[in-house]
Amino acid sequence: MSTIRLLVGLGNPGPEYSQTRHNAGFWLVEQYARMYGQTLQPETKFFGNTARIQKGAMDLRVLQPMQFMNRSGNAVATLANFYKIQPDEILVAYDELDLPPGVAKFKTGGGSGGHNGIKDIAARLGTPDFHRLRIGIGHPGDKSKVTGWVLGKAPQTDQVLMDDTITEACRSIDILLQQDMRAAQQHLHSFKAQREN
């Protein structure tokens, strides 16, 4: 059984960002909490919205940092320190430019890929060795267009793909918690394979 104790979803706070691609991590944790009948509630001491999911042996904290993306690490480190959660017990979900809409992948450690939220979390935790769930949002094809892209709203076709992927990724998190990373990765991979057929 995997020992993930903290699930973090990255995004930017505020209604003007709620529908933007950069908030894919927010969408995932909101949906995951909903699957267990939970709603994320403001928790000022952790600089974000939190929920707790308990089922059988699972005791999972869910966090949406409510500071801007490049300061996400503050909330993550504060909550992790408070509950004595180690970096390798943390899973962070976020938007990934290098994956197309409709694809999500697990990854452990490594670089930030230029993602400011991941960069800040690694800096605050003092290590990049936490688990990640990358949700594909696609790339605009030109570096100069990236900011407008991530802070823009996806067209309906892409949004449907992202929503389906997030639903499947939530199921994969369950598999990760009940089994292990390999089983979760296989589930996500087979979902992608099914859709391409």
Backbone angles phi and psi of 64, in degrees to 5: -115, 105
The catalytic position among 22, 115, 131, 187 is 22
Which secondary structure element, helix H or strand E, spans residue 60, and what is its range? strand 58-65
CA distance 43 to 41: 6
Q: Is 49 annotated as a binding residue?
A: no
CA distance 74 to 35: 27
Q: Is 68 annotated as a binding residue?
A: yes
Q: Is 32 annotated as a binding residue?
A: no
Q: Is 187 a catalytic residue?
A: no
Q: Is 70 annotated as a binding residue?
A: yes
Say if CB 42 and CB 49 are below 8 A apart: yes
CA distance 20 to 90: 24
Q: Which token pair is 49?
A: 């919205």
**Strand order across the beta sheet in which 90-96 lies:** 41-43, 48-55, 58-65, 6-9, 90-96, 131-136, 104-108
Catalytic site positions = 22
Known binding residues are: 17, 68, 70, 116
